[in-house]
Structure 1
Amino acid sequence: MNKALLVIDTQDSFYHTPYWSVRDIPDFQHNLTQLIGAFQRNQGKVVKILHSREDIADSPFNPASGFVKPMAFLETQFDKTFYKSVHNAFTDTGLATWLKRAKIDCVVISGIRTEQCCETTARIASDLGFDVEFVTDATLTFDMQHKPSGKLISSEDIKNRTELVLAERFATVHRTRDYLA
């Protein structure tokens, strides 16, 4: 099976959002760096996906902001870069065509936000016929407030929910350590 690691939206834009939190950053950075290294050692493709929204002038995701670039800890060479303006990495990027031409049949999901762009990419990839591996500890998200109830949902609970809805339906769920052996 030929695999590509998708590093989704791990970009400076997030530093400038109201929900940014550094709490889970050390583990995320460590796991993602280890995962990228494992792919590079095993000659897997590493693909950078950046979220870019030119239609929202004051957004940190607008390229004019200067923040649509990989976070500094990603000191790596990527095999390919795609820019997206929607939640998943396939709809408006040409990623599926590139993967098929490269004879890649499995995508490995990592990046920022677990329940949003990462999960949505996993679902679309599955629908497009790719095998999907979701590396939850190499994804990052943030606590969210449930508006109707006012309840604060922790990033850990959000990740658990993502695993619940993806596992055995859209993806197999993995940890970084699964790729390091």
Structure 2
Amino acid sequence: MAQAALLVIDVQDSFLHREFWQENDFPAFQRNISALIEGCQARAMPVVDVFHVAPQGPFSLASGWVRRMTFLQHEPTLSVQKHVHNALTESGLLLWLQERAIDTLIISGIRTEQCCETTARVASDLGFKVLFVSEATLTFPMTHNGITLSSAELIHRTETVLANRFAEVVSVETCLARV
């Protein structure tokens, strides 16, 4: 039987202090990720909080904002810090997962197309089965070369490039029914 763990990636107060922060999709994200965490904990599944740390700014430890967003009430099985876009390569998490024979990762968190997607790709390359719960991820519009992609467009792009290559894209309900 597969052994799964839920990764709660970068759901930290640091984002509240970035110029791109928006509340638009936040209520739905809160509901979805909370339901996912509760469902995983009810199944005695490890829940891992992952925090992004940078040398300066709101993601620095000195800022005091590298902490869980207050709506999260769970007690994580493990908390790790990362300095790169994926949660596995330098945080100590990979060894922890291997020691516990965990072979399936459930991905949730903030920014869908950055740290969540990158973690999914790296996890797949390392041999993990990946369930990407995009409705339990959050992102914000981005502009490049004068073209702005909405949050919905970014999430759709991430789902498109991950599906059937690096991850299975699932809803909270489907994820919890599978694990």
| SS of alignment partner, residue 59 of structure 2 | coil
Q: Distance in 2 between matches of 1:12 and 1:102?
A: 30
Amino acid of the structure 2 residue aligned with 1:3: A
Structure-2 residue corresponding to 1:119:
117
Q: How far did residue 180 of structure 1 move?
A: 4.5
User: Percentage identity across aligned positions?
Assistant: 51
Amino acid of the structure 2 residue aligned with 1:130: F
Q: Deviations over 1:21-73 (max 9, x none)?
A: 000000000000000000000111100000011x22xx100010000000001
Q: Aligned to 2:168, which of 163, 167, 172?
A: 172
Give yes or no for contact 1:38–1:179 (8 Å, CA) kept in 2. Answer: no
> What stretches of structure 1 move > 4 A for 4+ residues in a row?
none
Q: Distance in 2 between matches of 1:102 and 1:29?
A: 29
| SS of alignment partner, residue 122 of structure 1 | helix
Structure-2 residue corresponding to 1:23:
24
What residue ranges of structure 1 are gaps of 5+ in the alignment? none
| SS of alignment partner, residue 119 of structure 1 | helix
Q: Aligned to 1:60, which of 55, 58, 61?
A: 58
Q: Deviations over 1:67-121 (max 9, x none)?
A: 0000001111000001001100012111111001111100000000000000000
Q: Aligned to 2:158, which of 137, 158, 162?
A: 162
- Compute the TM-score of the two structures, normalised by the length of structure 1: 0.95
What residue ranges of structure 2 are gaps of 5+ in the alignment? none
Kindly report the root-mean-square deviation, in angstroms, between the aligned alpha carbons of the 2 structures: 0.8
Amino acid of the structure 2 residue aligned with 1:165: V
- Compute the TM-score of the two structures, normalised by the length of structure 2: 0.96
Q: Distance in 2 between matches of 1:144 and 1:14?
A: 15
Q: Deviations over 1:119-147 (max 9, x none)?
A: 0000000111111010000000001112x
